Structure formats: structure tokens, C-alpha cells
Structure 1
Amino acid sequence: MKAELKNGANWLATILFCISLAVVLTLLGSYLLFPIDAAIYQVRQYWPISAGALYHNFLQLMAYLQLPWIGQLQLTDFPVSQSGAQHFADVKQLFILAWIILLVSAPFAVRFLHQIKKQGQEYRLLRPAQIGFLLPLLLAGLASLNFNQFFVTFHELFFRNQDWLFDPAQDPIILVLPEEFFMHCFILAFVLFELLMISGWLVAHRSIKKLRATHDK
């Protein structure tokens, strides 16, 4: 019983590690995505600001969302309403939670994966990797049908209030954060997670092939 609980805890830590790693890497990747999307979709036409100043404000926003010691959101060139500040505070909690999960789960997941490799049992990764690969595909399929509805549903699931419904007159920051930027972030997170699952899948297949070759001898 104790061994089963330990095994379950190890798998849970590994799953949480993969999910949080994809999320955190997406947060870091957004630093490259934002200026590209801002230029492609010409968001500065909605708010008179230089490209450099716009990116500076984006960095201020991301710093607030990810650094726990920054307690108040202050943007140099954008006013922030009370409801807008509340929504970003809610987002901050989710982002910091992702970082915490990553940092806490990483040692357990790495040790568990190392043990599997040391014991030559990489084949155990096959089924979890297959399931982990297929489930996001279903989610991505739903999102591709109507991303706007998916975006709304996502916010309704993760936020208990309506503060995410920004009024551009009070929170003009939303004017320079196009829907396509969020879509690309979702796509990046999806691709990163799928790559992790494919890696596990390939490692498992290599292990199975090796075991079959040994058995045939």
C-alpha cells in the first residue's frame, strides 16, 4: 500500500512538472511573442506609444505577474482601473502558483525519472505519454473551432468574477494585448507540452524495443 501511494505521488509530481514546465516556458516565451504580435497586428494604432515604450510596459506587467515581491501593478503609460488591477492580481496568483508547482515538483519528478532510467523501466512512460498526448489534442480541437468562446470559457473556469471583461476606456492596456497574442500563447503551451509527451513516448518505445531485442536473444 505504501509503495502504491509513493508510486502514485511520483506520477502526480511528474504530471504536474510537465504541465507547469509548459506553462512557465510559455510565460518566458511570451517575451518574444509579444513584440512580434504587437508589430504584426499594429496595436500601437489603438494607443499612441512608441514600440520601445510599449515593450517596457509589457515588461512591467510581466514582472508584476511573476515576481511575488512586487505588490502593486504600475504601468508607466497605461492607467489601471480597480477592476483591472483585481484581475491582474488574480492572474498573478495563477502565474506564481505555476512557478511554485514547477519548483516543488521538479526534484521529485527528476528523481523519479532518473530511477526509472536507472532500472531500465522507461517503458512505463508509454501509457501516460500516450494519454498526455491525446487529451490536449481534444482540447486543441475544441479551441480551434471557436477560440473566442474557448477564451471566454477558460476565464469563466479560472476566475470567479467578471473583472477580466476589460473596459478599454478604463484599462487601455487591453487595446495592445490582441486576442491573437493570447491564442499564440495557448498554442505555444500546447506545443511545448506535446513535445514533452512525444519525448516520453519515444523514450518508452526505445526501451520496449531494447527489451524485445534482449528477450529474442
Structure 2
Amino acid sequence: MKKFFNMLFSICFSLFIILGIIRFTVGFRQLYYFDINYLDIPKISSLSEDEIKANYDYLIDYNLNIKEEEFKLPTIQFSPQGKIHFEEVRDIFQGINKITLGLLAVCIVGVFIKIKNKQIDFLNKTSKLLLILPIIVLVPMLISFDKTFIIFHKLFFDNDYWIFDPSMDPVINILPQEFFFHAGVMIIILVLIFSLVTRILYKKLNKKYNSRRSIFHRTNYHW
């Protein structure tokens, strides 16, 4: 039973890190700002860079802010179906926010108890879990990002409103698929970094605690 709860906590801790990284990446506007020129979005969309940024910033604020408001892009027209889709996207991100906050509370208490009791194996398990996920996600992305992108939308949406008609929802022109690929790669890289960090932290703490135990045993032996 103890092993089960240890693994369960490691899963919760890993999930908290992953959701936190997703939240961070979505809010990391600099990636999109870089892609504006890198992907030549002004040419694709026939919009100025300032106009592109204004509409993209609105999308991010709309999805991440807790305060609910009516969806209305600053300068780009949208269809009723497009509006529904972005409302559904917002619901997903708000759900992620709530789950992340719940996991934060669990992780704060759990990490405090485990570190206090020198039970650090959860760091080792978390490191392994964070290593497995990128491999699972990266393989299908590299094989066919198009298919992965479609499967992702079919899993999270029960309609086809995510398939935009540029004439009805020109916002799709400022959201090229390559940008989502870059965001996915960023998430994977950050997850791998956290996997490495938790592994290093585990090794250092394990070495520290083992050293203390060794000193304690030698002291008792001399007595």
C-alpha cells in the first residue's frame, strides 16, 4: 500500500509539473512573437505585426484569465462556430488551472512531509515519469505532426468547429500549425529539463542522507 501511495504521489507531482509547463508555455508570448517573423505570419495573414500581436494577446488573455468575458477579437472577424471553439478552448485551460491549483496544494503538503521524513524516492520516480512522457508524445509528432494534431483535436473536442474556414475565421491565418509544433517542442524540452533537475536533486539528497547515516553508524560503532 505504501508503494502504491508513493507512486500515486509521484504521478501527481509529475502531472503538476507538466500542467505547469503547459500553462507557462501558453503564456510565454515571446515564442509566438518570434514566430511572427520566422513563419512570416504578416504575409500569410495580410495583417500588420502590431495587429497580429493585439489579436494573439487577446486570445491568450481570454483563455488564461479567470474572469469570464464575451469572446470578441480586437480586429479580426469570427464566425459563431469559431466563437464556440474558442469558448471550448478556454474551458480546457480553465480546467487545467483548477487541476493545477489542486495539485499544487497536494504537492506542497506531500513534498514537505516526504522531505521531512527523508523519503526522497518520489523524486527518482518523478524523473522517470517526466522522461517517459516526452518520448510518448515526441514519436508520433515526428512521424506525422499533422495526424497527431488532428487526433489531439478529436480527443478534446466533440465537434468540427476547430476546422476553420479562413474566409469565415481569418484568425486561423495568424495561428499556423508550425507555431503549435514549436510550442509542443518547447513543452517537451522543458519537461526533459525538469526530469533532469529532479534526477540531480534526488542524487544530491540521497548522497547527503546516506552520508549522514554513515556518520551516525560509525559514531554508534565507536561507542
**CA shift at 1:214, angstroms?**
4.8
Percent sequence identity over aligned pairs: 23
Aligned twin of 1:81: 79
Q: Distance in 1 between matches of 2:174 and 2:9?
A: 42
Superposition pairs of residues 188-207 of structure 1, within 5 angstroms: 188-207=186-205
Q: Distance in 1 between matches of 2:133 and 2:78?
A: 37
Amino acid across the alignment from 1:85: K
Kept after mapping to 2: 8 A contact 1:123/1:203: no
Name the CA shift for 1:6/1:95 in 2 (closer, same or farther; >3 Å): same
Kept after mapping to 1: 8 A contact 2:25/2:183: yes
State the TM-score, normalized to the length of structure 2: 0.86
SS at match of 1:102: helix
Amino acid across the alignment from 1:170: M
Residues 132-178 of structure 1, C-alpha deviation per residue, up to 9 Å, x if partnerless? 31232132122111111111111111111111111101000101111
Superposition pairs of residues 1-217 of structure 1, within 5 angstroms: 10-29=9-28, 31-214=29-212
Residues 42-84 of structure 1, C-alpha deviation per residue, up to 9 Å, x if partnerless? 1111333221121011111111112242332111221110111
Q: Cα RMSD (Å) of the superposition?
A: 2.2
Name the CA shift for 1:133/1:6 in 2 (closer, same or farther; >3 Å): closer
State the TM-score, normalized to the length of structure 1: 0.88
Residues 30-50 of structure 1, C-alpha deviation per residue, up to 9 Å, x if partnerless? x11111101111111133322
SS at match of 1:46: helix
Name the CA shift for 1:216/1:10 in 2 (closer, same or farther; >3 Å): closer
SS at match of 2:45: coil
Name the CA shift for 1:181/1:24 in 2 (closer, same or farther; >3 Å): same
Larger Rg: 2
Q: Distance in 2 between matches of 1:176 and 1:70?
A: 24
After alignment, is 56-65 or 66-75 more displaced? 66-75
